[in-house]
Amino acid sequence: MHRLSVMLMGVCAVIGLARTGAAQGYQGGIRGAVHDAAGVVPGAEVTAINEETNVSRSTTTNEAGEYNLPNLAPGLYGLKVAMSGFKSVTQRGLQIGTQQFLTLDVRLEIGGLEETVNVTSEPARIERSNASIGTVLDKTDMQTLPSPGRAAFLIGTTVPTVIPSGDAQFNRQQDQTNASLLSLGGGTRRGNNYTLDGVPITDLRNRATANRRDCGGR
């Protein structure tokens, strides 16, 4: 009985670690504050719209005029801020990458909601919200950059600090477990968590289990 309880405790520990690892998502987000000439603006509606899928997420500013839109899939977004008694503000072309959080403060002007202020300037890319660093390789990169053995993971080596550590002779189309052995930013090659459309595809040895057909075009 004692031996069985020890085994069960070990299983629970593994499950706990798995849940902790799963919490490390690939999404990013937008956060910031809304102001007017007199100060902060609580209760303003802030909406992020994915310009590629037209999927939107909304929230309202708190008492301090702050808003937070987490868990946004990487992509190109537009941000709209609306509040009764003020002109609406819209800003487009906001690129959100993996684990990238943009800090964007918005200033409202007195007017009607039917009046819209379109912001065309690009926000500063200095990351003030998160210490994580992420890079997005879009569809064009995946289709045009050279890829040894058609291994999608090795395209990641075009990003600085991404170093391959697998055995090159096993970079095969039908098996990319060795191609996925990458060192990211000086980390261990067994310390990566790969996802496909948000679903983890790593095995118990932290190798990617998807083959070329699954992820070669992403």
Mean pLDDT by 10 residues, the chain (218 residues): 36 37 67 92 95 92 95 91 92 85 90 72 53 67 70 76 76 71 79 76 76 42
Domain of 62, in residue numbers: 28-119
> Distance between CA atoms of 28 and 169, rounded to whole angstroms?
36
Are residue 209 and residue 160 in the same domain, yes or no? yes
> Distance between CA atoms of 45 and 155, rounded to whole angstroms?
40
What does the pLDDT read at residue 173? 65
> Distance between CA atoms of 123 and 102, rounded to whole angstroms?
9
**Cβ neighbours of residue 157 closer than 8 Å, sequence gap 6 or more:** 163, 164, 182
Number of domains observed in the structure of the chain? 2
Residue 70 covered by a domain? yes
What does the pLDDT read at residue 67? 96
What does the pLDDT read at residue 17? 37
Contact 119, 91 (CB under 8 A): yes
Are residue 38 and residue 107 in the same domain, yes or no? yes
> Distance between CA atoms of 123 and 192, rounded to whole angstroms?
31
What does the pLDDT read at residue 89? 92
Are residue 150 and residue 108 in the same domain, yes or no? no
Residue 87 covered by a domain? yes
pTM across the whole model: 0.57
